[in-house]
Chain A
Amino acid sequence: MAAGTIVIKKPRRTAADQSFVVEIVKGLGVTFKHFFKGLNQMRPGGVRPDVTKFNYEEGIATLQYPEEKKPYARRFRGVHRLTLRPNGDVRCTACLMCSTACPAQCIWIKPAEYPVGHASRGHERFPEEFVIDELRCIFCGYCVEACPVDAIRMDTGIHMTALDDRGSFIFDKKKLMSHVSQDGDQLTANSRPEPGDAEHSGITRLKGH
């Protein structure tokens, strides 16, 4: 045998293994331990580990789904929302980048100019209609990536559930604007001076520069 060779002895079956009885009693010990632990946790007033947390405590691990839910991760891509400006208007400028990026082609935007006299006229457009077909959406998040003004987000934490008919899966602008983020936030993180504010450059598309 070469030097440095480690000889590992093959474990032989002992008489205890062979006779089954001892091993069966050992196995019963394991199952009885779990059984009584579970029974103790399930009795009225018993405390079982909080399954809605990501922990690994021993005990009953069943999640009673509709009543108990594990929170989604912060980066979970849920149903879309349209962020708002501080004055409550939609942040979207109808640049169509999201609908262009969308691989499922589920976003449809009808852009419109602000009416004459509006501070934003000529500066940017707004979506007269903004429709997302949530049935076609594949929740890839490309629209969020594409948006230059942080107007569309998927941080609502809403898991898209089954609805009664297909029509109710088509979310319009009003519905999308009503969604809130997991923190209860509705405002855009990309707020900047609005046309008319003192900090605004005043440059518009119509005047030219």
Chain B
Amino acid sequence: MARLTIDRAQKRFGSYLALDDVSLDVEDGEFLAVLGASGCGKTTLLRQIAGFDKLDGGTIRIGDRLVSSAETHIPPEHRKLGIVFQSYALWPHMTVAENVAYGLTVAGVRDPERARRVAAALDLVGLNGFAERRPGLLSGGQRQRVALARCLVTEPSLVLLDEPLANLDVHLRASMEDEFARFHERTGTTMVYITHDQAEAMALADRIAVMDRGRLLQLATPSALYREPANTTVASFIGEGMVLPAAVLSAPQAGRCRVSVLGVEAVVRCRPDQALSGQAKLCLRARDIGLAAADQAGVSAAVERLSYQGGFFRMEARPSAGADIVLHLDAAEPAPAQTGEAIRIAINDGWIIPDSDPLDKAA
């Protein structure tokens, strides 16, 4: 088990800054997901931790050991970590057992100890009857399990998972997700899980690091990320958040304050130190808003589009006070309004995005 400490990591490809002062700390035994769209730098980050590329600035430490900096570079073969690759990277010329045994052989572990540990690892992933097969004859899920067994047989202190579910069918993903969670529970290994799928990250991770254009935008628990996004990019990326201009009218009381948004007043969540401001940003989720009751204040808007989602409708509406804003909310069957009709939308909850967030340099 080991902590992973990344301090102000920088990586350039030519003039392009692929990692821009990324700092994060992964606790011993923690399951950290690194989440972002493709090209955000998450794979670059993984390759830095693994040591496939050299760092241009900053440091990476595994446990107490400095493994990467502009001057130091411990090659991947001496970092003692495990990786599950997106493509599984199983060696086609070796059997399943030989694939799993490779790391032990390299480390000088000999039979019968080696055979015992390979059998135990295959047992753990439920593949004990497959030892003599070639990887080419296995299904996608089975290959994934072999890759997992190969990665864990050497008991690495840190395991990196590079979009391990991206190549699997939807129904296989759910069961592999469970498998990863069980593994983490059983082994207590520190895990860094790279993904572009927020549902996957939310379901598995203790904490999630959201990345965009080489920068770390926010590092928080899944719930904090969803409920209290630190900046507008995270707010709109996670859970299809809507970001609206708002004015903070009152000082926070018990974590809430009064705001004015789209011409109506509402009470929403905010930081305890939230200052009064005329230029705040409000993050709304679809579940935070709904059709206003007759006696409730509401934003008047016109329905632009209704799409049936099975059991309920997703309703998109354009407020009359903000021509470039589209609100989306869920409405129960049967549809309460048709396209083109006027509705009133009540704002029941929301989150004032902290306006002075040090992570959000671009804002």
Chain A bound to chain B: no
Residues of B within 8 A of A (CB): none
Give A contacts to B, CB under 8 Å.
none
